[in-house]
Structure formats: structure tokens, C-alpha cells
Chain A
Amino acid sequence: MAISVKASWRTNAACKIYSGYPNTYCDLQTFLLLRSLCATPVFLFPCKRGFFCYYERMTIGIPKAFLYWKSPGYWETFFESLGCKVVVSPPSDKNIVELGVQAADPETCFANKIYWGHVKWLEGKCDKIFAPRLKTNEAGQEYCPKFFAIPDLARIVTKTPLLTASFDSRKEAFIMTLQRLGREVGVSKKDVLAAKTKCDDGCAGIEKKNRENFWRKMDSDKQKILLISHPYNLYDEYCNLQVEKKLNQLDGEAIFLDEAASLGSGGEFASKGVPSLHWEFGQEMLKMVPSVLARYRFDAGIEISSFQCGCDAVIKGYVEDVFRARKTPFLYLIIDEQTGEAGYQTRLEAFCDTINARA
């Protein structure tokens, strides 16, 4: 017996039950709809009130890499408020990186390898893995080509089904894509809107926290070191080799670029001869670094780049030039799966000595 899921009122009726009330009473028709909608098994028990419908909520796995660090917590909040269970992979560690290195192409960037490690870790621990295809952001800037093929490659890497949508703001508004994503989970458009509002509030909270952090760190007497990188290298404790902790031990204050940039960008500080990049993460860095350096006093800068990052190869020279023009010490660190921590420690110590000698 086949029921058309396309009829919107029916879908919505089923969705309401699906999203709001996991185990509930319903009629036979709704049960059949539910069964066609849900990724998880749905069981039906006849009882006095009709039927008791039992099912597990869909579990969605979110890899804690790449996109996750762009807005930490955004996607958990989103899917949780849509009534799904969410599994986030643990912070990167050696095992996850090893999984990733085995699964990924040997020549992709290190951050990408870590991503596949997280996807591998989630395998079998959830009903669907959230692996979106990121193409352009709302400002019309592209992501790295490696983000374009994430679902296609994820289908090769893992057998767990994927929850995916193509985020291409040139073709479709962000909220529309979210609503399409919501339909796959079985949630109405209205609920998706509400969830998005909740997520945006969370993001605003993070911005506020960033700003507070920034002022607190700027007030300290320690040497202020600007950490520059893509969010997925910067906030991943394994990827950045705990550079913040290490710098603190060496009597330095590490300030993330995002924290400094949370006070708003100053377009007027953009330096000459710097190309405008079409890559979102790269452009952010290229725009922010000169403006942040022009506004506040930093004693040094460290750029962390993952090995084989195509974007960093382009912008490295320009970032270095900004620091050179301001006569500020600058350290460029490349990380990959073979990086030893001891080597880093030595380099950071030497670098901190340089800064202290200057001061």
C-alpha cells in the first residue's frame, strides 16, 4: 500500500508527530506515513485508543571538524531543536587522525584528513551523518573545492547514510536550503524557521563571548600574539597542537583572529596590492589581518597552516607582507600528521624569546 508523501498536509501532519512527540497514539494512515518518512524503524501496537506508535528519534552524527568550527554548536542546536538526537564526534585525537589518514586521499590537506577521521568515527554510531556540500556563502564567496565534493567522497568513505544539502547562496537562499534539510528529517518549514532563530541567537552569544575574551586578553600585561588560521585549524586542539596553552606557559597571550575580528572589520585598512580572494576563509583572513593589526597593538603573529592547503599557499605571502610592513615578528607553522610536538615547542620557545628580546 503506497501513500503519497508529497501531499503537503499529510506530510505536515506526520511531521508534527515525528518532530514533537516521539512515541504517540495515531491512526493507521499516519503510521504508514511515518514509516515512509522515518529513517528509523517504526513499530505499531494496537491498543484501546487506537494505535500506539513507537519509534526512535533519528540520530544525526556531526563530525567535529571543518565546517563545525565555523560556528561551533550551530548544527547541534539546529538538529536538536528539530527533534533529532545528535551525536558529535569527540575532539580530534591520534586515533581519529589515523582513521582519517587511512580513509582520505594521501594528498589532501591535513584538515580534510581529520574530517574523514571524524566521519569514520561516526560510522555506525548514528542513523545519518551530516555532510553538507558547501559551495558559496551568503556573501557570494566560494568555499574551497574540497568542500564541494564532501558528500560524494563521504559516500565512498562510509556506508552510513548521509544527511546532505547543497549550500549554494548563488542559487538558493540559506533558509530554503535549511528547509529542504528539514524536510529530509521530517520537519515542517515553520519549525525550521524557529530552529534557525534559536541557532542565530546562539551564534550571537558566541560573538559576544569572543568580544569579552578579546578585551580581557588585551588588558593583560603579557605579550600579545595574534593567531591566524582557518577556524578549523585554529580551534581544533589537536590541529593547532594546543598552541594557546603552550603560549600561555611561555608567558604569552594568544588571541585568535576571530576574537579580534568580532569587533567588526575595518574595510578602510585594507592594504594595497592584496587581491580579493574568491575563497571565503581566505578572504576573511586577508581582510581581517591588516585591519586588526592597524587598530590594535600586537607583539607578534603566528599563522598556522595545514599541509597542502591550497588557499594558504596563495595568501601566505600577503599575510607575511602585512607583518613585514609593520615590523612585527611573524611565524609560519605548517602542520600535518607527522608533526612532532617537541619540534613545535622548540620553535615556539625560540619565537617567544625573540619577542621578549624586542620588548
Chain B
Amino acid sequence: MTMETSKKITFARWGNYTVAIKALFERLGFEVVLPQTSNETIVKGVKHAPELFCFPMKILLGNYLGAIRQGAVAVFSAANSTGSCRQRYYGIVQEKIISDCGLSVEFVHVPLSPRKFFGVLSKQSGKSNFEIASALLFSFMMLVMIEKLEARARYARPRELNQRDTDKAVRASLELLETVKSFGDLYRAGRKINQQFSLISINANKPVPRVGLVGEIYGVSEAQINFGIEQKLGEQGIEAHRQMTLLYHLKKLVFPWMDWVITFRTRKYLGSHVGGHGRDAVSEMLTYVKDGFDGVIQILPFGCMPEVTVRPVLERIHKESGVPFLSLSLDEQVAEAGIETRLEAFGDVVHSRFERKLAAQKILDGNHDMLKL
């Protein structure tokens, strides 16, 4: 096969998943201009986007604009044709804005239904079906590894003995994954990552309060816009949990019954879906409450239609169950210091609740022993 000059493309940055998405496009034979999220790109996105549009759209637009300046000629954007919220129009509006800016790039709307997705990729890359399937498998495996390491990091962070050990391991692992080119390398990288995480010295017996993160998927999983909330909680000695990951979203696209279960679980609180992941947030919060978590944090972009709609419902669950609840809405005006202060205060509430719970448990256990005697 003759090597043609590969097309320079870009896509939206998405937290740690960026590595997996980049791997997908690289295996498809594109040259990837890695999008960056910085204050500069955010400002640029905010400047060009409609004022009242939601925050992720502005960030993505900033990503694209920055990458186009670096030479990208095509933008791959996930197009959702079934949702009820504004995410459905991200691609269309962004395409219009980019062309209004006088930039001529190819804007590829990648539909999220599995079959169409495959079709678009094969048309764009000109690769054989086998190659595309292998690229998809490769990036999927990488995605699974990334989520696994994220989960391990969430577990290790509040328990680590030497501060920042986990962060170092995460960073090293992601850097390692970025260099991976073949399935064999991926396997070896997996072992290496496992090794790195087992080397973190943790105190596994330390009782640690748990906090669930619910909310809009991008805000929850992109550490750059939520100011590394998982890390911040970990540093406070709180274990963060979240169900809302990219894998969860993909699973929901493939298996419809996940939605049926959620519908059933939330029927008392919400009689209908509200677009986006609104109903999922309610269902997740209910699960967290049931599992005895010590707090729930909702993260949403300012004015996110589904999340704003379900927030009163989440507050109702919070009032009924007594589990501390914090809602953080993020936009370009939010400062890190403000979020930090609120998280610290919330952390205090969570800790005091957890300690009370522990004390009560101790008394109960003591009584139990006495009864046995």
C-alpha cells in the first residue's frame, strides 16, 4: 500500500479518554492534532459561541479553533440525533461558527449509533472493515484500561501514605498509554500500570468516607473543567465514586435495558426522561443513598437543561435521606478558589457525618458483643 500524506484531524478533548480517542484516529491512519484545553482556548470558545449556550460546547469550540490554528483540516464531532438537550446541536452550531470565522475545515459529524458510526469512519479513512474493527477494539481496550486506572486512583488517593503517589502513578500510566502502538504493547502497558499502582503504599484498613459524583458526563469526567474534583476530594481523605463514565455511556447506547432499569428505579421521583443524563443522575443518587454513601456531589455546566431540571429532585432525595448534597455549576466565570472553599466545607460535613456514623457503629458493635457474652 502506498503511503499517502495523512490527513490532519482533530476532535474534542475529553479528560483522560483523549488518549484512547487519539489512538483510534491514529490507527485509522490520520495525523492527530491533539486538542488542548487551556484558559486561552476557553476564552476563544466563549468569545465565538452563543452567549447562552452550555459550557462544554464553548470548550469544545475552543478545542477545535485551537487545533485548526495548528493545522487541522478536519474536525470529528460526535453527533447525537436522538437526545432532547442542546448537545444535539453542538456540531451544527459549531460548524456554522467555524465557517463564520472564515475557516475552511471539513466538519465530520460522527453519529453515535454503532452502524452509522462504522460507516462514517470507513468513508473517512478509506480503511478496510477489518482495520476499522481492529482500531475500534484497540481504542476500546485502551478506554477500559483508562477507566480501570481511574477507578484504582480513586480508591488509592484517600488511603495513600505518601501524598501525590497516586497522581504520579496516574500521570505515568497515561504517558505510557500514549506511546502504545500495538496490541502487544497495550498488554505490556497494562501490566506495567498494574505494577505502578501496586507500588503505591496505602493504608487499606483506614476507614474512609465515600462521596458519589453525579451529573453531566463531560463535567464529571473532564478534570480540567471540574478543577480535578476527584483529586481534591482524595486529598481531603474522601473516596470519590462515579458511575458516569464514557464506558457507561457507550453501554447505554448498546443495551437498552439499562435505561429500563433506570426508569423503574426512578419512577417515584421522575416520571419521564429529561434528556441528557438527567434521569441517570437521579438513579445514581438513589443508588449512592442506598449504598450508604456519606455525600453526593452534582456537577453540571451552568444552565444545563437536564441537570437543572432534575436538581430539585436530587434536593428532594437529599432532604428525605439526609445524605449531604452539593451542587456545583461550572462555567467560564467560576474560579478555582470558590470551588475549593465549597469542597472543603462540604468535606467537613462529610467527615463529621462519617465520624458520627463510625461512633454509632462502635457502640452498636459493643452492645452486640455484650449480648453475645
Contact = CB atoms under 8 A, between A and B. Distances in A.
Contact of A145 (B53, B84, B93): B84
A310 B312 contact: no
Contacts of A70: none
B70 interface: no
A145 B85 contact: yes
Interface of A: 105, 107-108, 133, 135, 142, 144-146, 148-149, 151-153, 156-157, 166, 273, 275, 277-278, 305, 307-310, 312-314, 316-317, 334
Interface of B: 50-54, 84-86, 88-89, 92-93, 96-97, 269-276, 278, 302-303, 305-306, 308-313, 315-316, 329
A218 B271 CA distance: 46
A153 B309 contact: yes
B269 A145 contact: no
A278 B270 CA distance: 22
Given A145-B275, A152-B313, 18 more contacts: A105-B311, A107-B308, A133-B271, A144-B305, A146-B274, A149-B271, A149-B274, A151-B271, A152-B269, A153-B312, A166-B272, A275-B92, A310-B54, A310-B85, A310-B303, A313-B52, A313-B54, A316-B50
A163 to B, nearest CB: 14
B93 A317 contact: yes
A313 B89 CA distance: 10
A107 B306 CA distance: 11
22 contacts: A105-B311, A107-B311, A108-B309, A142-B84, A145-B276, A145-B306, A145-B309, A149-B270, A149-B272, A149-B278, A149-B309, A151-B271, A152-B270, A152-B272, A153-B312, A153-B313, A275-B89, A308-B308, A310-B85, A310-B86, A310-B303, A317-B97
Given A133-B272, A166-B272, A310 B305 contact: yes
Nearest to A317: B50
Contacts, number: 96
A156 B314 CA distance: 11
Nearest to B100: A317
Nearest to A142: B84
Contacts of A307: 52
B89 A108 contact: no
Q: Which of A142, A145, A275 is most buried by chain B, counting CB atoms within 10 A of its CB?
A: A145
A156 B275 CA distance: 20
Contacts of B309: 105, 108, 145-146, 148-149, 153
A152 B302 CA distance: 22
B274 A145 contact: yes
A108 B315 CA distance: 15
B52 A312 contact: yes
Nearest to A314: B89
A146 B275 CA distance: 9
A307 B309 CA distance: 15
B92 A107 contact: no
A311 B17 CA distance: 29
Contacts of A317: 50, 93, 96-97
Contacts of A156: 312-313, 315-316
B328 to A, nearest CB: 12
A317 B302 CA distance: 20
A133 B309 CA distance: 13
B85 A308 contact: no
B48 to A, nearest CB: 11
B327 to A, nearest CB: 9
B218 to A, nearest CB: 16
A190 B158 CA distance: 66
A194 to B, nearest CB: 29
Nearest to B278: A145
A321 to B, nearest CB: 9
A135 B272 contact: yes
Contacts of B315: 156
A136 B362 CA distance: 54
B84 A148 contact: yes
Contacts of A146: 274, 305, 308-309
Contacts of B53: 313-314
A273 B302 contact: no
A49 B302 CA distance: 66
Nearest to A103: B312
A155 B342 CA distance: 29
A156 B312 CA distance: 8
Contacts of B275: 145, 148
A320 to B, nearest CB: 10
B96 A278 contact: no
Contacts of A133: 271-272
A4 to B, nearest CB: 25
A156 B316 CA distance: 7
B313 A308 contact: no
Given A310-B85, A314-B89, A148 B273 contact: yes
A312 B89 CA distance: 12
A166 B271 contact: yes
A308 B52 contact: yes
Contacts of B274: 145-146, 148-149
Nearest to B81: A278
Contacts of B272: 133, 135, 148-149, 152, 166
Nearest to B96: A317
A142 B312 CA distance: 22
A315 to B, nearest CB: 9
Contacts of A273: 96
A314 B278 CA distance: 20
A144 B96 CA distance: 23
Given A145-B274, A152-B269, A308-B303, A313 B312 contact: no
A149 B272 CA distance: 7
B86 A314 contact: yes
10 pairs of A and B residues whose beta carbons are closest in the complex: A313-B52, A145-B275, A310-B305, A313-B53, A148-B272, A145-B274, A308-B303, A107-B308, A314-B89, A275-B92
A153 B329 CA distance: 20
Contacts of B89: 275, 277, 314
Contact of B310 (A149, A157, A278, A310): A149
Contacts of A144: 305
B265 to A, nearest CB: 14
A107 B329 contact: yes
Given A148-B275, A313-B86, A105 B305 contact: no
B212 to A, nearest CB: 20
